[in-house]
Structure 1
C-alpha cells in the first residue's frame, strides 16, 4: 500500500502540476487524499494517546511505543513507503523545537537554578568527552576510520529531552538531580547539532577540513550568540505579551509559544544556535509572571506531545527493519561504549568540580537516555552528502531501542539503590479554573513516597503557610476532603491549594516535614 500524501521518496511529495513523486504517487493532492490522510492520522493519534497507559504501567518511555507504531505502518507492516531523510531532518528539527519550547516553559527556574552550571558543563565539556571516548572504542573495536568514529560518537552524544522529561514525570527525584537532567537535555541538543553538522560536512566529497580548535571556537560563538538571542527574545517577548494580553487565554497561549519559536528563527538567521535560543526564550517566558499560565502550560504540553508523537512515528516509518540485524552488534558495541564509558566519564569530568556526590553522579550516568535526537541526527550525514554512511540510521535506531529498554525501566530501582530518590514527589497541575487564576492561586499535587515522613502526620501538623490548605486526599482508589485531625499515609496523593506568593514556602515546609517528620522546625532550607 502506498498512500499518496507526504510519503513519496527522496524526490519529495507530488507537486501541484501533476508530476509523479518518487514514491510512486502521482497527481495532485485531492480531497480524497485528504480524507485518507485525516483518517490514518487520527487513528495514529488515538492509538498513541491510548498507549500512554501502557507506557505508565511498563515504565518505558512512550517513544518506544510511537516508534513501534511507525514500524507497524511502514514497509514491513501496512506497507506505507517513506524514505525521505531530507524531509525527516526538516520535520525532525521542527518537532525538536516544539519539544524544547514545551520543556522550557514547563521547567521552573527555582528547580534548576542550582543545577544550571553543572548542566551547562555537562552539555558542552561532557559531550566532547563522550564523543572522544566513543570514537576511540569504535576505532579500536569496530575498526572504523577516525572520521566515521568521531561522527557516530557525536550523533549519539546527546540525551533526549522528550525521553528525559517523560521519565522524570514518574521517578521521584530531588530537585537538584531532576533539574540537572532537565537543563542538560535542554542545553545539549544545540552543541551536538553543531558538531554533527561540522563533522558530516568535512566528510562530504566537497568538504574542507578545518582544525578541531577552529570548529570548537565557531561552535562556542554560535552557542553564545544563540543564548543571547534567546534571553533577549524571552525578555522582550514577556514585556510585549503583557502589554497586548487579552481576555482570551487560548490566543495568549498561542502568542507565548510563537514568541519562543520566533527565537529559533531569529537565531538561526543570525547564524547562531536556534535550539539553545528557543529553549532559553521558553524558559524565560515560563518563569515570568504572565497571565493565563494554566492555559499556556496546557497548550504547550499538548503541542509537545503532538510533536513527540509525530516525530517518533515518522522515524519509525523511515526505519527499515531489514537492516536492523546487520547493525545489531555494532549498535551494542557503540551503546555499551556510551553507557558504560562515555557517559560516566563525561559526568565525572563535568560534575566533580562542583562537588556533586558520587551517588548522584552514578545516577546521572545511568539516566542519560537517548531518543529522537540521535535518530534525527543520523540523517544529517546522508543529507550532507557524506558517502558510505547509509547504515548509520539503522545502527542508531537499534541502539536507541535496545538501550532505552535497558535504562528506562530500571531508573526507579537505580534511584532507590543509590538512595537518591526523593521521599515524596511534587507535580504541577495545569488547572483550567478562572477563579484560581484571578485569585493568584496554584494547585500542587504531592505524592507521599515509601520513605517520606509525611506519613503518620496529621493534616494540622503540616503547619502550612497562611492561605494554603490540603483540599483533597486521594487514597486507595477513593478520595476525601481531609479534616485537620486526619492522618496521612504512604501512597496518599494530596492536592494542595496555595496562593502564588507563598508557594515556595509551602514547598519548603513539605520537604522539611517529609524529611524530619512532625517535629521539623520552620527553617529555611
Structure 2
C-alpha cells in the first residue's frame, strides 16, 4: 500500500517543528532576560524585542516575513491580550477620579493631535495629500500602555497622575483604530465615501456600544464565574481571560468597538473581587508579556532595514511636531477642563510614549490597498524607535525637576497564598522616598487602623521584623499586611504622614483622595 504524501512528509514537518521551537524558546528566554537590562537602562523592553526581530529578519538570520495582512491579524490579537491584562490589573479606585480626564484626552486630545500632525505633515513633507497626512496623524496619535508603564513602574507618581496615564492608554486605542480604518478606507479604491459627520457619529456609536457590551459581559459573566468558581486557580484564570476575549468578539460582531469592550470588560472583572484573584492577575500578566514579546518581535521581522534609512529625516520631523506641539496642545485642550496643574500637564505631554499600537496601525493602509502609503510603516517604525530612546530614559529626571514624585510610594502586591485570600487580607509595599516625612517616624506613630500592621522592614538589603519603636529611615521598604476593609484607609494614612509628618490627621488635607 503506498504511503500518502502527508505521512511521508511527517519527518520533515517534525524537523521544522523542532527548529521553530528552538528559535521560539531561545527568543522567549532572551526576551525575558532582557527585562532586567531594560529596567536598569530606563528604556522600554519594546526596543530590545524590536531589535531581536530585526536580527532574525531578512537582513539578519534570513527569516523572511512580509505579509502585512497576517501582521495586522496577529497584531490585533496581541492587542486584545495586552488590553485584557491592563484591565485585569488596574484598580478602579486608583483611576476612577482620572476616568473623565483620560476619556477627554483619548477623544478630544486625539482629534487635536491628529489635526496638528496632519497640518505639519502636509506642509513639511513633499507632495503629501491631506488624506494621507490625516492618516499619518491618526496612526501616531495613540500612546502605548506597554511602553508607558514599562518605564513608569519605577517612577513614584501621584495616583491621580498615574491614573490618567493608565486610563488613557486603555481608552485611546479604540478611537484611534476606528479613525485609522475610516481614513484608510476613504482613500482606498474600493472604500466607502461617507461624509465626515457620518463617520464621527458612527465612531461615537461604536465606542459607546463597545463600552456597554464590555460592562454588561463583565458584570454578568463575572457573577457566573464567581458562582461556578472552579477549584483550580489555573482553570479559573483561563475562564476569566476567555470572557475578555469573548467581549471583543461579541462587540466586533455587533459592529461596535471590540478594543474598548475588552478593556472595559477586563476592568470590571478585575475589580469584582473574584476568587483566585492573584492567580488571575498573574496569568493575565503572563499572557500580556507573551503578547508583547511576540508582537514586537513580529514587527521587527516585518521591517526592512534597507528601507528604514530613507525615513529617518521625515520621522524626526513628524516626531518633533508630535512631541513638542501636538501632544502638549492635546493635553492643554483636554486638561484645561479639569484644572490640572501645569507641572502635571507638562509631564503628561512628555510621557506620551508610542509603541506597538502605531506600528500595528501602520499595516492597516497596506492591507486596504490605500494608495501612496507604502512608506508609512517604515516612517512610523523609525519614529517609535527614535523618540522612545529620547523620551523614556528622561522620564524619572523630568518627574524630579517638575517636583511631582510621590514621597512614599505604595503599591499592592500579588501574593499567591490561599490563607491570605481566605482571611480577606492584602499585602502593600511602601517605599520611603528621599523627601518623605516618614523619615524619623516610629512605627507606633503611624497609628494604622485596626487590622493593619507593618510586618517587615528591608533596610540596605537587610530585612527585620520591626517593633513599635522602630524608627523608619529614607530608602526603607515596608511590607504592610491589611484586611480588605482597611486597605485604602491604611494607604491614605501612610501617605498623609509622608506629606505632613507624624502630626498628620490633626487637620484635613486638600490633597486627600478617596481613590487612594
Which stretches in structure 1 are left out of the alignment for 5+ residues?
Answer: 1-15, 19-25
Give SS of 2:230's match.
Answer: coil
- Hey, what's the Cα distance between the residues in 2 that align with 1:80 and 1:157? 31
Deviation at 1:419, TM superposition (A): 1.2
Partner of 1:241: 225
- Hey, what's the Cα distance between the residues in 2 that align with 1:430 and 1:309? 23
55-64 vs 421-430, which deviates more? 421-430
Partner of 2:321: 337
Partner of 2:151: 167
Partner of 1:295: 279
For the 8 Å contact 1:115–1:179, the answer to whether it is kept is yes
Structure-to-structure mapping, 1:29-178, within 5 angstroms: 30-143=13-126, 144-178=128-162
Deviation at 1:166, TM superposition (A): 1.6
Q: What RMSD, in angstroms, separates the aligned Cα atoms of the two structures?
A: 1.6
TM-score normalised to the size of structure 1?
Answer: 0.94
412-421 vs 224-233, which deviates more? 412-421
Q: 1:17 to 1:482 in 2, by over 3 A?
A: farther
- Hey, what's the Cα distance between the residues in 2 that align with 1:165 and 1:100? 13
Deviation at 1:98, TM superposition (A): 0.5
Partner of 1:21: none
For the 8 Å contact 1:454–1:517, the answer to whether it is kept is yes
465-474 vs 319-328, which deviates more? 465-474
Q: 1:505 to 1:360 in 2, by over 3 A?
A: same
Structure-to-structure mapping, 1:252-401, within 5 angstroms: 252-401=236-385
Deviation at 1:246, TM superposition (A): 2.0
Asked if 1:464 corresponds to 2:448, the answer is yes
Give SS of 1:305's match.
Answer: helix
The CA deviation string for residues 166-209 of structure 1, in whole angstroms up to 9 with x for no partner, is 22211110011000000000000000000000100111112233
Deviation at 1:210, TM superposition (A): 2.3
For the 8 Å contact 1:70–1:315, the answer to whether it is kept is yes
For the 8 Å contact 1:347–1:365, the answer to whether it is kept is yes
Structure-to-structure mapping, 1:188-207, within 5 angstroms: 188-207=172-191
- Hey, what's the Cα distance between the residues in 1 that align with 2:244 and 2:210? 13
Which of 432, 435, 439 is the aligned partner of 1:448? 432
How many residue pairs get matched?
Answer: 503
202-211 vs 253-262, which deviates more? 202-211
Give SS of 1:428's match.
Answer: strand
Q: 1:96 to 1:17 in 2, by over 3 A?
A: farther
Give SS of 2:373's match.
Answer: coil
Deviation at 1:263, TM superposition (A): 0.5
For the 8 Å contact 1:70–1:316, the answer to whether it is kept is yes
Q: 1:209 to 1:29 in 2, by over 3 A?
A: farther
Q: 1:17 to 1:403 in 2, by over 3 A?
A: farther
Which of 412, 427, 447 is the aligned partner of 1:428? 412
Which stretches in structure 2 are left out of the alignment for 5+ residues?
Answer: none
Deviation at 1:487, TM superposition (A): 1.3
The CA deviation string for residues 213-265 of structure 1, in whole angstroms up to 9 with x for no partner, is 21111101100100100000111011111111122111111111111111000
- Hey, what's the Cα distance between the residues in 1 that align with 2:269 and 2:280? 10
Give SS of 1:519's match.
Answer: coil
Deviation at 1:428, TM superposition (A): 2.0
Give SS of 2:501's match.
Answer: helix
Which structure is richer in relative contact order (CA contacts within 8 A, separation 6 or more)?
2
275-284 vs 477-486, which deviates more? 477-486
- Hey, what's the Cα distance between the residues in 1 that align with 2:340 and 2:187? 38
Give SS of 2:353's match.
Answer: coil
For the 8 Å contact 1:107–1:283, the answer to whether it is kept is yes
Give SS of 1:30's match.
Answer: helix
Partner of 2:473: 489
For the 8 Å contact 2:295–2:356, the answer to whether it is kept is yes
Partner of 1:13: none
Give SS of 1:518's match.
Answer: coil
- Hey, what's the Cα distance between the residues in 2 that align with 1:466 and 1:167? 35
Give SS of 1:426's match.
Answer: strand
The CA deviation string for residues 376-413 of structure 1, in whole angstroms up to 9 with x for no partner, is 00000000111221111111010001000111111111
Deviation at 1:429, TM superposition (A): 1.5
- Hey, what's the Cα distance between the residues in 2 that align with 1:393 and 1:28? 38
Deviation at 1:34, TM superposition (A): 1.3
369-378 vs 462-471, which deviates more? 462-471
Give SS of 2:463's match.
Answer: strand
The CA deviation string for residues 277-317 of structure 1, in whole angstroms up to 9 with x for no partner, is 00000000011121111111111111111111111111111
- Hey, what's the Cα distance between the residues in 1 that align with 2:299 and 2:439? 45
For the 8 Å contact 2:39–2:151, the answer to whether it is kept is no
- Hey, what's the Cα distance between the residues in 1 that align with 2:11 and 2:365? 31
TM-score normalised to the size of structure 2?
Answer: 0.95
Deviation at 1:448, TM superposition (A): 1.5
Q: 1:229 to 1:17 in 2, by over 3 A?
A: farther
